[in-house]
Amino acid sequence: MLMKTLKKRIYLSPPHMGTEELCFVEEAFQSNWIAPLGPQVDAFEKEMAQYVGANEAAAVNSGTSAIHLALRYLGVGQGDIVFCSTFTFVASANPILYQGAIPVFIDSEPDSWNMSPSALKSAFMYCEQAGRLPRAVIVVNMYGQSSNMTSILQICDRFGVPVIEDAAESLGALYNGKASGTFGKFGIFSFNGNKIITTSGGGMIVSGDRDALNKIRFWAAQARDEALHYEHSEMGYNYRMSNILAAIGRGQLQEIDKRIDARRQIFHRYYSALSANDGIAFMPEPAGSKSTRWLTALTVNPSLAGVSATEIIEALAEENIEARSVWKPMHLQPLYKQNAYFSHSPEMSISDQLFNQGLCLPSGSNLSEDDQDRVIECIKAIVKGGIR
Ligand SMILES: *Cc1c(COP(=O)(O)O)cnc(C)c1O
C-alpha cells in the first residue's frame, strides 16, 4: 500500500523554552506559591521594567487585558472615539468595544507597515472639525517592528491625546535606540504562546506613571479596598498573572536577546535566498529602527512572481509547513466594517495592498537551518524563474 508519509510539521512561531524556566517554576513549587501573584510576579515585573527601561511594569493575564486596563485608566467610556491601527490582530481593537467606545481605524504607511502618520493626521483633522477628538490612540507595532513614533507622537501631542503602544509583537525592538513599548503613556506586551517569549499566556503593561500602574494593579485584582473583610467600591477584573506563569516568564526573559538574534538570522537567510526574485518584497526596516523580525513578512506581486501569496501558503501547507497570510485589516472585518477608516492617501489603502499580497513565513527562534531550507526550496520551486 502506498502512503505519502507526512514530513515533520514546521510551525509558524512555536514556543521556545530555555533552561532557566524550570528552575524558577521549581522555586515557586518549593514555596508552594502557585497563585495568585507572589514573589515571581514581583520579580518578573521588575525584570521586565528593567529590560525595556520603563519606570514600572504590571503583570496581567493577557495582552488583551493590558490594553483594556490602559483604556479604562485613560477614561475611555461609552461613545468615546479611539483611534487604532487597522493592520493588526483583533485583540488590539476589541477592548475599545469592552469600554463601550467606538474604534476609528488608521491605515499603515509603506515604510514601516505600521500606522501612517498622514492617515492619522487626516483622522485628527476630520474629528477636530466634527468637534469630537478621540480619547486615546492605540498604535500597533507589527511583526517585531516599531511604528514611526516620532511623527505619531508629534501629531498626538499637538491634539493632547494619549498614546497606548500595542507592543505585543515588538518586545525587544528598538526605535532610535529606545525600547519599543516605552514611547506612549502606556506600552503593552503579550506572552501568548506564539510571541517572542511566552508564559503560555500572559501580558505586561509598562508606564512611566507609577500611580497609574498601581491603580491598574488594583483593578486587575478585583478592586479590593483595604479592609479585613472583602470591601469593594469600584468594579474590578480577575486579570492578574499567576506566580507560576511569572516564573516561566523570568526564565524566558533571560534568553530574549538570543531569541531576537535567531529571528533576525532567520529573516536574513530568507532574504538572501528569495529577495532577488521579481515581485517579492520583504517588510522594510526603516533607518533608526531595529526590528526583532518576530515574523518574517513579505509581499508577493503575482504578475511579477508568477505566483500569489495564497498559492505559496497552499504549496507550503502541502509540505506540512505552516505559513499565514498577514493580518486582515480591521476595517475589512465583518465585526468592524461599519466603523470609520482613514487610508494613507485618498487613492491608496496600504493595509489592503498588504493583505492582498502579504504572507508570513515560519520564524520560530528554534527553527533549524535544514527546516528553513525546506521552506526556501518549496518557495523557489514555484516562483517564476525559481529554477536557476
Ligand atoms: C498577540 C497580540 C495581542 C494580544 O495578546 P494576548 O496576550 O494574546 O491577549 C494584541 N495585539 C497584538 C498586535 C498581538 O499580536
pLDDT of 387 above 50 = no
**Greatest alpha-carbon span in the chain:** 75
C-alpha cell at 298: 513579505
Average pLDDT for residues 1-12, to the nearest whole number? 77
Residues 75 and 130 in one domain: yes
One domain, residues 261 and 147: no
- Per residue in 180-190, pLDDT tens? 999 999 999 99
pLDDT band at 221 (very low <50, low <70, confident <90, very high): very high
pLDDT digits (tens, 9 = 90+) for 246-271: 999 999 999 999 999 999 999 999 99
Q: Which of 62, 88, 132, 70 is nearest to 336 (CA)?
A: 88
pLDDT above 80: residue 373: yes
Whether residue 312 sits in one domain with residue 229: no
pLDDT above 90 coverage of the chain, percent:
91
Average pLDDT over residues 109-134: 98
C-alpha cell at 332: 475589512
Start-to-end Cα distance in the chain: 36
Please say if the pLDDT value at position 5 is more than 70.
no
Q: Give distance in angstroms: CA of 169 to centre of ligand 1.
A: 7
Question: What number is the average pLDDT over the span 313-317?
Answer: 97
Mean pLDDT for 167-184 is 98
pLDDT for 6 beyond 90:
no
Do 121 and 264 reside in the same domain of the chain? no
Dump pLDDT digits (tens) for 141-164.
999 999 999 999 999 999 999 999
Q: State the CATH number of the domain containing residue 154.
A: 3.40.640.10
Q: Which of 89, 140, 147, 197 to mutate to test the pocket of ligand 1 (most atoms within 8 A of CB)?
A: 89
309's enclosing H/E stretch is helix 309-318
How high is the pLDDT of residue 287?
A: 95
Boundary-marking domain end, from 253, 269, 299: 253
Q: Best mutation site among 113, 145, 190 for ligand 1, i.e. most ligand atoms within 8 A of its Cβ?
A: 190
**Any domain includes 299:** yes
Do residues 133 and 212 share a domain?
yes
Q: Which of 5-9, 86-90, 272-276 has the lowest mean pLDDT?
A: 5-9
**What average pLDDT does the structure give for the chain?**
95
Report how many helices (DSSP H) and strands (DSSP E) the chain contains, helices first: 13, 15
Nearest residue to 257 via CA among 196, 305, 201: 196
Report yes or no: 291 and 263 within 8 Å, Cβ to Cβ.
no
pLDDT at 2 over 60: no
The number of distinct structural domains making up the chain is 2
- For residues 273 and 365, membership in a common domain is answered with yes
pLDDT-above-70 percentage for the chain: 97
**Which amino acid is located at 293 in the chain?**
R
Domain assignment present for residue 190? The answer is yes
Q: How far is CA 78 from CA 69, 90, 96, 232, 338, in A?
A: 15, 20, 10, 23, 17
Residue 387 falls inside a structural domain: no
Please say which residue of 200, 234, 253 terminates a domain: 253
pLDDT at position 4 is 60
Mean pLDDT over 11-30 rounds to 90
Pairing status of strand 358-361 against strand 296-300: antiparallel
In a domain, 92, yes or no: yes
* Cα 62 to averaged position of ligand 1 atoms, centre (Å): 8
Is 155 found in the same domain as 28? Answer: yes
Question: Is 25 found in the same domain as 6?
Answer: no
pLDDT tens for each residue of 223-244: 999 999 999 999 999 999 999 9
Please give the residue that has the higher pLDDT: either 32 or 71.
71
What whole-number distance in Å separates Cα of residue 370 and Cα of residue 138? 39
Is 303 within the bounds of a domain? Answer: yes
Statement to judge: residues 122 and 266 lie in one domain: no
171, 275: one domain: no
Q: What value does the mean pLDDT take over residues 349-372?
A: 97
Tell whether 63 and 122 lie within a shared domain.
Answer: yes
What values do phi and psi take at 230, rounded to 5? -85, 110
Tell me what pLDDT residue 29 has: 85
C-alpha of residue 58 to centroid of ligand 1, in Å: 16
Confidence of residue 276 (pLDDT cuts 50, 70, 90): very high
CB under 8 Å to 62, separation ≥6 — which residues? 91, 190, 192, 201, 202, 203, 239
Q: pLDDT tens digits for 34-67?
A: 766 789 999 999 999 999 999 999 999 999 999 9
Nearest Cα residue to atom 5 of ligand 1? 63
**In what helix (H) or strand (E) does residue 220 lie, and over which residues does it extend?**
helix 210-220
* Residue 79 half-sphere exposure toward CB, CA atoms < 13 A: 1
Residue 142, domain extent = 20-253
For the record, the C-alpha cell of 90 comes out as 483583533
Residue 202 in any domain: the answer is: yes
Q: Is residue 388 part of a domain?
A: no
Q: 55 and 159, same structural domain?
A: yes
Residue nearest to atom 8 of ligand 1 (CA): 192
User: For the segment 60-106, what is each residue's pLDDT rounded down to a tens digit?
Assistant: 999 999 999 999 999 999 999 999 999 999 999 999 999 999 999 99
Residue 127 lies in a domain: yes
Which residues form the pocket of ligand 1, taking CB atoms under 6 Å from any ligand atom?
62-64, 88-89, 91-92, 140, 166, 168-169, 190, 192, 203
Q: For residue 325, what is the domain's CATH number?
A: 3.90.1150.10
Instruction: Give 327: exposed, middle or buried? Use CB within 10 Å, 0-12, 13-18, 19+.
Output: buried
User: Which of 199, 224, 253 is a domain's end point?
Assistant: 253
Alpha-carbon distances of 141 from 54, 146, 231, 278, rounded to whole Å: 17, 5, 39, 28
Q: Give the ligand 1 atom nearest the CA of 62.
A: 7
Ligand 1 centre and the CA of 70: distance in Å? 14
